Amino acid sequence: MFITLKQKLILFVIFILVLSISSCSHYYYMPNIQHVPLFIEKNEFRFSASKGIGVGEKKNLVNTEANVAYSMTKNLAFMTNFSYAYFGDKSYSANYSSDYYLELASGYYKPFYSHVVFEIYGGFGNGNQHHKYELGAADFKFTKIFIQPSVGFTFNALDIAFSKRISNLNFYKVEQSGGDRYGYESYNIDMIRKNKNSFLNETALTTRLGWKKIKLQIQIQLSNNLSEPVLRFVDAVISFGVWFTITDRYSRDAYKKKDMR
């Protein structure tokens, strides 16, 4: 059976349309970075700023974040994380989305042998999304409850940490206005409306390289929707950022070295 030139042209157009749909369609959840402070002692601060991008066809999704953590006692700590994710450019396009998210967490940390740290945090977050399509718009509000254990190795010039975050994501507001009620994005919105709760299993590998007080950070994170895998969620993110620490420990170490001379 031979394919005519006209049939080839039709197949090519269909192929291009499929690519454009996959690359320009919206996603309704993008994992924020898993902040792993790796505290050693009381009264330590950790700050980081990073930018994450979706992997593969989701590379047009970008996430900008700021993270702060503080160890209030020798074993207890808290942290707060803010993220802003966006797709497209509302200045030039009628097809874009924006996502604001803030979370708070507290937890337990335990250093071993001065370089190995175990941490576990539990937290709550709240966020909202706005999506603009060629036809119509949609708004979402959601909460996330999570637990995040981790184990890491910390040195003056290098940190490596493995963490896992188990979350319950709940969309408590799903509103759509205008547009094609039977279109592709309307289908995705209806799926979220019918399946508002998702249980997420997210795994991350964090690497920091630099100096005592400042390091460059890279994190690779995989996200798996255990309960509703058909929802259009980002399943892989790579983040790049800068990490800062403030602690008296480095000053004490410097004085000890000075006294030994």
Q: How far, rounded to the nearest angstrom, does the alpha carbon of residue 190 sit from its chain's CA centroid?
A: 24
From the CA atom positions of the chain, what is the Rg in Å? 22
- Closest to 142 (Cα-Cα) out of 197, 93, 190: 197
Say how many domains are in the chain: 1
H/E stretch holding 250 reads helix 249-260
pLDDT at position 256 is 56
Which residues are CB-contacts of 163 (< 8 A; sequence separation ≥ 6)?
A: 34, 36, 148, 149, 150, 151, 152, 203, 204, 206
Residues 120-153 pLDDT 10s: 999 999 999 999 988 889 999 999 999 999 999 9
For residues 20-28, give the mean pLDDT: 64
Q: With 90 as the cut, is the pLDDT of residue 94 above it? A: no
**Three-state SS letters, 163-218:** EEEEEEEEEEEEEEECCCCCCHHHHHHHHHHHCCEEEEEEEEEEEEEECCCEEEEE
Q: What is the DSSP letter of 56?
A: G
Residues 197-251 pLDDT 10s: 999 999 999 999 999 999 999 999 999 999 999 999 999 999 999 999 999 987 6
Share of the chain above pLDDT 90, in %: 71
pLDDT at position 22 is 43
Contact 60, 54 (CB under 8 A): yes
Diameter of the chain measured on Cα atoms: 88
For residues 181-195, give the mean pLDDT: 87
pLDDT at position 19 is 41
149: CATH = 2.40.160.20
CA distances from 141 to 53, 168, 193 (A): 22, 14, 12
- At residue 18 the predicted structure's pLDDT band, cuts being 50, 70 and 90, is very low
Range of the domain at 61: 5-260
CA distances from 19 to 90, 141, 260 (A): 22, 29, 66
Reading the block at residue 132, the tokens are: 């603009």
- At residue 189 the predicted structure's pLDDT band, cuts being 50, 70 and 90, is very high
